[in-house]
Structure 1
Amino acid sequence: MDSALTSVALPAALAIIMFGLGLALTVDDFRRVAQHPKAVVIALIAQVLLLPALCFGLIKAFDLEAVLAVGMMLLAASPGGTTANLFSHLFRGDVALNISLTAINSVLAVLTLPVVVNVAINHFEPSGAGDVGLQFGKMLQVFAIVLVPVGIGMLVRRLRPAFSDRAERPVRTASAVVLVLVIAGALLGERENLGDYLADVGMIAVVFCACSLTIGYLLPWIAGVTREQAIATSFEVGIHNSTLAIAVAVSVLDNDTFAIPAAVYGIAMFPLAAAAGFLISRRAAPQPAG
C-alpha cells in the first residue's frame, strides 16, 4: 500500500474506531461480567478457541495458499468491535453484554492475536513473507493501536460524560465510513491480484462468517442463556474487527496480502449479519435447553 496510507491514514482510522469504542465503555462494563458469567465464558471460548480452530479447518478444506491462510488466521484472532454492538442493538440483543465482551476481547486480543499469528506463520510458512512474526516490539504496537485509544475514550467518558454522549453517535458514524475506506484501501493496494484473491478467499470468508454467527447463537442457546444474550453473542462472535486485522497486517506485519481476507470479510459480513439478524428476529423465541 501507499506509505502515507500505511504510516498515517490507517493507524489514524483505527484510532478513531477504537476511541469511539472507548467512549461507550466504563469500568462497570468489566464488572458487569460477573452478572452474566455463563454467556461471557461461552462467548470467550468460542472467540478465542473455537473460531481459530474452525478457521484452520476451513483453510485446509479450501486448500488456501499460505499467505492468505495467515491472513484468515489473523482475522479469526481479531476481536469483535463496534459493528457487533450496532447489529445487536438493531436486532434486540443484550447490548450491555456486547459492550462487556468487546471490552474483554479487546484486552485479550493483545495476547491471543500475536499467539495465533505466530503459530499460523510458523505452520504455513508463507513464501516471500520474511521474518514477519509478532515479536515483542510488534506486540507493543498491537497494544498501542488496540488499547491506548480505547483507554483515552474511556477517560474522556469518565471526565466528560455529557460530551461523550453527544460524540458517541458522530464517532460511530465516522467509524463506519472509516471502515469502508480502510477496506477499499486494502483492496486497491492489491488491485493487480484482486480478482485472483477474491476467487480464492471470497467463499471461505463467507462460510467462516456464516459459521461464526451460527456458533455464536447456538452455543449460548444450548447452554440455556436468554435469547437476548444469544443474539448478542452471535454478533460478537460472528463479526470481527476487520479494521484491526488490516491495520496489523499492513502497519505491523508490513504485508498487504495478509490484509486481503479481512478486507473481503469486511464486505461480506454486513449482508450476512443482517440476514442472520432477520432470521433470528423472525423466528419464535426459542426455549433454552434444559
Structure 2
Amino acid sequence: MEASFFTVVFLPVALAVIMLGMGLSLVPDDFLRVAKYPKAALVGLISQLIVLPLIGFVIVKIIPMPNFIAVGLLILTLCPGGVTSNMISYFAKGDVALSVTLTALSSTITVFTIPIFTNLTLRYFIGTTSAVVLPISTTMLQIFVVTLIPIGLGMLIKQLFPELARRLEKATNKIAIAFLILIISALIIREWSRLPGFIAQVGIGVVLLNISAMLTGFYIGKLFNLSMPQRISIAIEVGFQNGTLAIAVTAGLLNNPDMAIPAAIYSLFMYITGFLAIRYGRRYARLYPSTQE
C-alpha cells in the first residue's frame, strides 16, 4: 500500500498536536513526583509497560484472528496511556497526580520500547522474510519528533506563558477529540466493506483486552496495598491506551491501515469502561470519603 496524505501528513500532525496539548498540562514536577510515591508509580509502570503487553499476547494466542490484526492489537498494548486518562481519573476521583506522572513517564519510555518490541512482534507473527520492516533508529527518531518534542514545547510554553498555555490547552483538548474522531472515521470509511469482518475478528479481543487491563491494574494496586484513588488511576492508565499513536505506528510508519483497526475499535470501547470507572470511583468516594487519601 502506498503512502498517502493521511498517513504521511495528517497522522503525524494530529499526534503532534495531541502531544502538544499534553505538554501544556505538564510541569517538570510531574516527572519528579515519582520520588514522592515510588511504589505507586512503579506498580503503575510495570502494569502498563510489562503486564499489559503480556495480557495482549495471551489474548491474541487464545482468540483466533489474522496475524495482522494480532500485530495491531499488540502494538496498541505497547503504547503509553491515552491523553484523556488524566481527565477520566479526575472524574473518577482517582489520584490525578499519579495519573499525570504515569502518563508523562510512559510517554517518554515508550519512545524507546515501541520500535524494539514492535519489531519482535512483526517477526513473530509476520515472519522475518516479510516486507513489513520497522527500522528501530528511524522509528525512535520519528516517534521522538511527534511525541517528546511537542510535549517539551508545551511544557516550555506553560513555564514561560502560563496564561497562554491555559487557553491553548482548552483548544488542543477539543482539537485532540476532533482529530481522533476524524482518524477513526477515515479508517471506518476506508474499510467499510470489510468492517463487519474486522469487528468479528477483533471485537472479542478488544473487549477482553480493555476489561482485563483495567481489572489487572486495579487488583495489582490492591495487592500492593495502594489507596483506592491510586488503584483507580492505575486501572484507568493501563486501560486507556494512546490509540492515536498506535494508529500512527500501524497506518503511518508501517503503512498498513488494516493493522490500525484494533486501535480504532479500542479507542471507542475504552470510553465505555471509562464511564463505568467514573461511576464506581465517585460512588466509592461518596460511601467511603475517609479512604480518599
Q: TM-score, normalised by structure 2?
A: 0.92
Deviations 1:44-65 (A, max 9, x none): 1111111111100000110221
Count of residues in Structure 1 that have an aligned counterpart in Structure 2: 288
Task: Provide the residue aligned with 2:219 in structure 1.
Answer: 218
CA distance in 1, matches of 2:12, 2:37: 34
Task: Provide the residue aligned with 1:34 in structure 2.
Answer: 35
Task: Provide the residue aligned with 1:155 in structure 2.
Answer: 156
Task: Provide the residue aligned with 2:54 in structure 1.
Answer: 53
Deviations 1:140-164 (A, max 9, x none): 1122122111111111111111111
Contact between 1:132 and 1:254, CA under 8 Å: does it hold in 2? no
CA distance in 2, matches of 1:53, 1:132: 22
Task: Provide the residue aligned with 2:110 in structure 1.
Answer: 109
1:39 maps to a residue whose letter is A
Residue 205 of structure 1: how far off its partner (Å): 0.4
Deviations 1:186-244 (A, max 9, x none): 22232332221111001110110011111121111221111111111111111000000
SS in 2 for 1:82: coil
Q: Report whether the alignment pairs 1:136 with 2:137.
A: yes
Runs of 4+ in structure 1 displaced over 3 angstroms?
A: 126-129, 283-288
Q: TM-score, normalised by structure 1?
A: 0.93
Task: Provide the residue aligned with 1:118 in structure 2.
Answer: 119
CA distance in 2, matches of 1:80, 1:107: 11
Matches within 5 A, 1:90-105: 90-105=91-106
Matches within 5 A, 1:5-16: 5-16=6-17
Deviates more, 1:166-175 or 1:24-33: 166-175
CA distance in 2, matches of 1:257, 1:287: 48
Residue 71 of structure 1: how far off its partner (Å): 0.3
Q: Report whether the alignment pairs 1:259 with 2:256.
A: no
Task: Provide the residue aligned with 2:179 in structure 1.
Answer: 178
Matches within 5 A, 1:238-257: 238-257=239-258
Contact between 2:80 and 2:241, CA under 8 Å: does it hold in 1? yes
CA distance in 1, matches of 2:136, 2:128: 19
SS in 2 for 1:33: helix
2:54 maps to a residue whose letter is A
Among the aligned pairs, what percent are the same residue? 36
CA distance in 2, matches of 1:97, 1:231: 10
Deviates more, 1:125-134 or 1:156-165: 125-134
Question: Structure 1: any 5+ residue segments left out of the alignment?
Answer: none
Question: Structure 2: any 5+ residue segments left out of the alignment?
Answer: none
SS in 1 for 2:84: helix
CA distance in 1, matches of 2:282, 2:65: 35
SS in 1 for 2:94: coil
Task: Provide the residue aligned with 1:63 in structure 2.
Answer: 64
CA distance in 2, matches of 1:60, 1:285: 40
CA distance in 2, matches of 1:127, 1:34: 42
Q: Report whether the alignment pairs 1:88 with 2:97.
A: no
CA distance in 1, matches of 2:89, 2:277: 11
Aligned-CA RMSD value = 2.0
Residue 287 of structure 1: how far off its partner (Å): 10
Change in CA separation of 1:129 and 1:142 when aligned onto 2, cut-off 3 Å: farther
Residue 35 of structure 1: how far off its partner (Å): 0.6
Contact between 2:56 and 2:73, CA under 8 Å: does it hold in 1? yes
1:208 maps to a residue whose letter is L
